[in-house]
Amino acid sequence: SQTIHQWPATLVQPVGSPLSLECTVEGTSNPNLYWYRQAAGRGLQLLFYSVGIGQISSEVPQNLSASRPQDRQFILSSKKLLLSDSGFYLCAWSLTYNYGYTFGSGTRLTVV
Rounded Cα–Cα distance for residues 56 and 80 (Å): 20
- Out of 65, 67, 73, 103, the residue judged to bind another protein by CB under 8 A: 103
Nearer CB in complex with another protein: 43/69: 43
Nearer CB in complex with another protein: 40/83: 40
Contact pattern from residue 43 through residue 82 relative to another protein, giving x for each residue in contact according to CB under 8 A and a dash for the rest: xx-x--x-x-----x-x-----------------------
Rounded Cα–Cα distance for residues 58 and 99 (Å): 22
Nearer CB in complex with another protein: 9/15: 9
Cβ neighbors of 102 (< 8 A, separation 6 or more) are 2, 4, 92, 93, 94
Q: What is the 3-state secondary structure (H, E, C) of 48-77?
A: EEEEECCEEEECCCCCEEEEEEECCEEEEE
Which one of the spans 13-21, 64-72, 76-84, 93-101 is the region binding another protein (CB under 8 A)? 93-101
Rounded Cα–Cα distance for residues 11 and 109 (Å): 5
Q: Which residues bind another protein (CB under 8 A)?
A: 32, 34, 36, 42-44, 46, 49, 51, 57, 59, 88, 90, 96-106, 108
